[in-house]
Amino acid sequence: MFDPCIVACNAMLDAFGRNGEMGSALFFFNCMIEKDVVSWTSVMNGFLRRKQFVKGFWAFEKMMDFSVKPNEATYVNVLSCCANLEERSGFYLGRQIHGYIFRNEVVMTIFIGTSLIDFYGKKGHLEIAFGVFNQMLDREVCTWNAMISSLACNGREKEALNLFEKMKVAGVYPNEVTFVAVLTACARTKRVELGSELFRSMQSQYSIVPIMEHYECMVDLLGRAGLLTQATEFVNSMPFQPDALVLGALLGACKIHGAFELGNEVGRRLLELQPRHYGLYVALYTINADKES
């Protein structure tokens, strides 16, 4: 046993979690004589980073068993765990957390509110998400992003784009995440002109350099609209090598629109990136089977 400064111990816990060394993190945690809310939250965050959401919620339950009062970071982490858990149980547990926040009159900070919006959005409960959004007195860009993304990913793309316009009117400056959300909305509604305009405005109007996710959204948009030549040219003009998600979006469009030759070419490029991804072999087989039929 050892009893160094708890601040130093918490820093070590955080370092273990960031490096994905959760076995070492738990061993170190169990050796700590004194533990505070930061200690517990660091363990939760470590599990969250490794996508071990059940274990993350378990850490929260254990913390509550020891009557440790959660802080803002705790709520953000546990709600993120709930958002990514299996549909029914995740929603039930997240509702419990929301109820605890309400009963204990926890201040609805920007980050707690945003986490609630993200949680309800991922579970498809948009009216509750909107309720939280409308109750928030202060909203940062992350709050708007969570609501816009929730709408865009749940079949309410027009409302997502309308909310984006309201965000700009409110004087909130969009960021990289905002454009992923609005470009997703454009892709799902095949709004090529608007999506292209928004993509161009990132640099010209907001000085935001597009990253891989933005290119993926644009390829998805052009592909869904059946503009495979434009989508291919767009991929070939990228300032960096496309990743598997970008090429996967193009391959999916090839399959939908019956572009067999292009599909095989894209498939080969994908296999170079992911030679052990057996799903790609199935996809290529399906494309060629469709061609023969």
Q: Could you report the per-residue pLDDT of 204-255, keeping only the tens digit for each? A: 999 999 999 999 999 999 999 999 999 999 999 999 999 999 999 999 899 8
Examine residue 250 and state whether it is found in any structural domain, yes or no. yes
Examine residue 213 and state whether it is found in any structural domain, yes or no. no
**Domain boundaries, position 236:** 232-293
Beta strands in 168-286 (DSSP E): none
Examine residue 104 and state whether it is found in any structural domain, yes or no. no
pLDDT of residue 283: 64
Examine residue 219 and state whether it is found in any structural domain, yes or no. no
Examine residue 8 and state whether it is found in any structural domain, yes or no. no
**pTM, whole model, 2 decimals?**
0.89
> Is 112's pLDDT higher than 90?
yes
- Token pair recorded at residue 150: 């929730």
Provide the β-strand partners of residue 2: 32
Examine residue 265 and state whether it is found in any structural domain, yes or no. yes
Number of independent structural domains in the chain = 1
Provide the β-strand partners of residue 237: none
- Residue 228's nearest CA partner among 209, 208, 253, 206 is 253
Examine residue 289 and state whether it is found in any structural domain, yes or no. yes
Confidence of residue 149 (pLDDT cuts 50, 70, 90): very high
> Is 24's pLDDT higher than 60?
yes
Examine residue 134 and state whether it is found in any structural domain, yes or no. no
Question: What is the rounded CA–CA span in Å between residue 261 and residue 6?
Answer: 61
